[in-house]
């Protein structure tokens, strides 16, 4: 059981709801530990898992940020350790072997925007707002925001948003490439599920290798091309590849088993 997360399973899709509506779903330490536990332990035990949707309770916020009261008195060393723990949780999400989709139903600010960016895909409600307003508090993003925002929207615009603390709406976020889809309010989770269902029709091992290969591009210690060819080779040795190739030749739909 969780205190700050609600986890429901629907047809192989886990919907994880950050359930701190009165605090606009701010990420306190307890919530971060629960996210770590879910992705490192609980999710791995779900039979037939197709993917995970992360959303926020209520209509106002996906996650409005981190809990400032927990780090306002930290010194330099403590602050770095605090950020490292948060980055570790988000790396778990980013490297999860099944697709993780953020269903952004309101404010995604600070740590909330960073959480959304750690997911593989993002669906935004039409009233969603995105931003990294940390400089207003005299700090910077600490959970990977300075790095992932550049990856998604480029250095120039990322620098502007990070330094001005401007908040952008769902349409602009989509135009910039930060989100995949903008949907009417209340349809965020259903669209996220639709994406996962579509991906679930593909070869599971290949999907996990796609995730690995994409992440390798941004890992400075990894040659992305080498990572890709190794993953390609590993896919060639799977039952799914043999089934996919046979189905193509026989002009039928493949029946993948994730092996």
Are 164 and 110 contained in the same domain? yes
Domain boundary among 184, 200, 216: 200
Which of the residues 34, 94, 134, 188 is marked catalytic? Answer: 134
Are 240 and 126 contained in the same domain? no
Separation CA 54–CA 194 (nearest Å) = 14
Which of the residues 34, 94, 114, 188 is marked catalytic? Answer: 114
Burial class, 202, CB count within 10 angstroms (exposed 0-12 / middle 13-18 / buried 19+) = middle
Q: Is residue 194 one of the residues assigned to a domain?
A: yes
Structure tokens, 199: 């991906």
Give residue 252's pLDDT.
85
Are 41 and 133 contained in the same domain? yes
Separation CA 52–CA 89 (nearest Å) = 15
Give residue 166's pLDDT.
98
Are 22 and 44 contained in the same domain? yes
Burial class, 131, CB count within 10 angstroms (exposed 0-12 / middle 13-18 / buried 19+) = buried
Q: Is residue 83 one of the residues assigned to a domain?
A: yes
- When divided into structural domains, the chain yields a total of 2
Q: Is residue 120 one of the residues assigned to a domain?
A: yes
Structure tokens, 209: 């290798």
Are 209 and 181 contained in the same domain? no
Are 120 and 218 contained in the same domain? no
Do the strands 100-104 and 51-56 form a parallel or antiparallel pair, or are they unpaired? parallel
CATH number of the domain enclosing 67:
3.90.226.10
How far are the Cα atoms of 56, 57, 62 from residue 10, in angstroms, in the given order? 17, 17, 20
Q: Count CA atoms closer than 13 A to 241's CA, side-chain side.
A: 11
Q: Is residue 259 one of the residues assigned to a domain?
A: no
Are 191 and 208 contained in the same domain? no
Domain of residue 187: give its range. Answer: 5-200
Are 153 and 227 contained in the same domain? no
Q: Is residue 119 one of the residues assigned to a domain?
A: yes
Are 22 and 131 contained in the same domain? yes
Structure tokens, 142: 């600490």
Are 196 and 208 contained in the same domain? no
Separation CA 82–CA 62 (nearest Å) = 22
Structure tokens, 231: 């993953």
Q: Is residue 23 one of the residues assigned to a domain?
A: yes
pLDDT tens for the chain, residues 1 to 259: 899 999 999 999 999 999 999 999 999 999 999 999 999 999 999 999 999 999 999 989 999 988 888 888 889 999 999 999 999 999 999 999 999 999 999 999 999 999 999 999 999 999 999 999 999 999 999 999 999 999 999 999 999 999 999 999 999 999 999 999 999 999 999 999 999 999 999 999 999 999 999 999 988 889 899 999 999 999 999 988 988 888 888 888 888 888 8
Are 75 and 109 contained in the same domain? yes
Q: Is residue 246 one of the residues assigned to a domain?
A: yes
* Active site (annotated) includes residue 134: yes
* Active site (annotated) includes residue 114: yes
């Amino acid at each position: 059981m969780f205190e700050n997360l609600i986890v429901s399973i629907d047809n192989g899709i886990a919907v994880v709801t950050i359930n701190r509506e009165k605090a606009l779903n701010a990420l306190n330490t307890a919530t971060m530990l629960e996210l770590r536990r879910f992705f490192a332990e609980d999710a791995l035990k779900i039979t037939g898992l197709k993917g995970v949707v992360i959303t926020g309770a209520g209509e106002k916020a996906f996650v409005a940020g981190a809990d400032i009261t927990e780090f306002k008195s930290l010194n330099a060393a403590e602050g770095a350790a605090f950020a490292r723990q948060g980055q570790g949780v988000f790396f778990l999400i980013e490297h999860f072997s099944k697709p993780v989709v953020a269903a952004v139903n309101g404010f995604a600010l600070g740590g909330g925007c960073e959480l959304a960016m750690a997911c593989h895909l993002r669906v935004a409600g039409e009233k969603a707002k995105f931003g990294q307003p940390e400089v207003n508090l005299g700090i910077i993003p600490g959970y990977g925001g300075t790095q992932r925002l550049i990856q998604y929207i480029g250095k120039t615009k990322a620098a502007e948003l990070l330094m001005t603390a401007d908040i952008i709406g769902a349409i602009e976020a989509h135009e910039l490439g930060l989100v995949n889809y903008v949907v009417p309010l209340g349809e965020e989770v259903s669209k996220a599920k639709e994406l996962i269902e579509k991906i679930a029709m593909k070869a599971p091992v290949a999907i996990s290798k796609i995730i690995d290969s994409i992440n390798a591009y941004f890992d400075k210690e990894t040659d992305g091309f080498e990572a890709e060819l190794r993953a390609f080779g590993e896919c060639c040795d799977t039952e799914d590849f043999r089934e996919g190739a046979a189905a193509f030749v026989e002009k039928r739909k493949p029946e993948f088993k994730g092996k």
